[in-house]
Amino acid sequence: MATKKVVIIGGGFAGINLAQKLSKDKNFHITLVDKNNYNFFPPLLYQVATGFLEASNISYPFRKFFQGKENLRFSLGEFRQVFLAQNKVLTDAGEIDYDYLVFATGTETNYFGMENVKKNAVPMKTVKDALALRNTILANKEKAARINDLAERRKLLSIVVAGAGPTGVEVSGMLAEMHKGIFKKDYPELGSDEVEIYLVDALPVVLNPMSKKSQEETLAELKGLGIKVLLDHAVKDYENDVVTFANGKTIETKTLIWTSGVTAVELPGLPKEVLGRGKRVLVDRYNRVKGFENVFALGDICMMEGDDDFPNGHPQLAQVAIQQGKNLAKNLSLMLSGKPLTKFSYIDKGTMAIIGVNKAVADLPRGLHFKGFIAYFLWMVVHLFSLIRYRNQVKTFYNWMVAFVTRDQSLRFILDSKPDK
């Protein structure tokens, strides 16, 4: 049997799990393409942004991960176009032939057409974004510590987090705790009453995907931390240090953190008729792209049709991507042997969100709900063991223990990516 060439575009949760499992079948030669040379763990980006974890804690080089896997290769490149008739993909590093093509490109930040927000806000989607946010927060603190203009200081010390989903809740909660403890010690020049953190959302609730109980408990905890939660506040513009809402209200700030939405990455070469809501690629129960036998889409970028339990598509969560990647690996092997394929069925393992130290909520299957330390502990265990390698798990656990005992970390560096001249 001739070896089949599988090309995977994207090395996130879906892509890395597909590659890892499929590499055990020597009938395939797999090439994983990604614009970064490392895999990273998005749920912990906010801890990099707030200086509680190093970027290396949540990242791991693809080439080191692939060592010893003879049928698995990595190609550093950014996807440009697919030529479906020729079974080729074009990246900025050249062309690659395939027998099976898998899109696992994930999503990108959605600014809903607001160009000023796109230009001026700080997103939370990549490792670079997290490091840029850390630099922004710390640089603004340094500026505020040396100026006497009270209005300017207030803008430097006010932070608006747009989007009250898990990322928005987690980053605003972490910042609030840091202001109450760490920054108070680091910057004695600044008064605690000058600092204001806003969490805003167009919806009337926080943590929209979670249970009402989790939403209510989270809202109470956020307010208890001193965070000003503004619901039913849709951001309309952000220019000249002013966040403007659709209801006409405004907030002056130098920092708008944008966690408010995502959209599927554009895939040139795919026909428009295979795209659904939010540009998500329409797939069948086997993750095959609509109308194609050898092209697949996984994770956040796809919208599965035919699953009665999820008529509007699966939630864009890590567990969906992981499970789809593993299921497709099994199905590709079954295809070669001529055996019936296995339909994808999502096993919901629950949803969690952390608000601060010992403050978290967890909605688990069968209606189980936890809050406080138990939910906080569960969140730590799940996220720790979801990291890709043992090295990452050990380093992250160490940093967490130091932070838990001391309520502090020593990773607050302003690191400019530009070389010194």
The two tokens of residue 59 are 């990242």
Q: Minimal CA–CA distance to 278: which of 258, 308, 305, 301?
A: 301
Q: Where does 7-111 have alpha helices with state H?
A: 13-22, 45-49, 62-65
Closest by CA position to 316, among listed 15, 40, 13: 13
Instruction: Characterize the bridge pairing of strands 158-162 and 359-364.
Output: unpaired
CA distances from 93 to 77, 173, 212, 349 (A): 5, 41, 48, 39
Q: State how far the Cα of 341 lies from the Cα of 337, in Å rounded to an integer.
A: 10
Tokens 């057409």, residue located: 113
Residue 315 near residue 209 (C-beta atoms within 8 A): yes
Measured distance CA(50)–CA(187) in Å, rounded: 16
Euclidean distance between CA atoms 310 and 91, whole angstroms: 33
DSSP 14: H
- Whether residue 356 contacts residue 363, with contact meaning beta carbons closer than 8 Å, is answered with no
Distance CA 282, CA 129 (A): 29
User: Please, what's the largest Cα pairwise distance for the chain?
Assistant: 75
Q: Supply the DSSP string of 15-29, one letter for each residue.
A: HHHHHHHHTT-TTEE
Number of C-beta neighbours around residue 128 at 10 A? 12
Residues with active-site annotation: 170
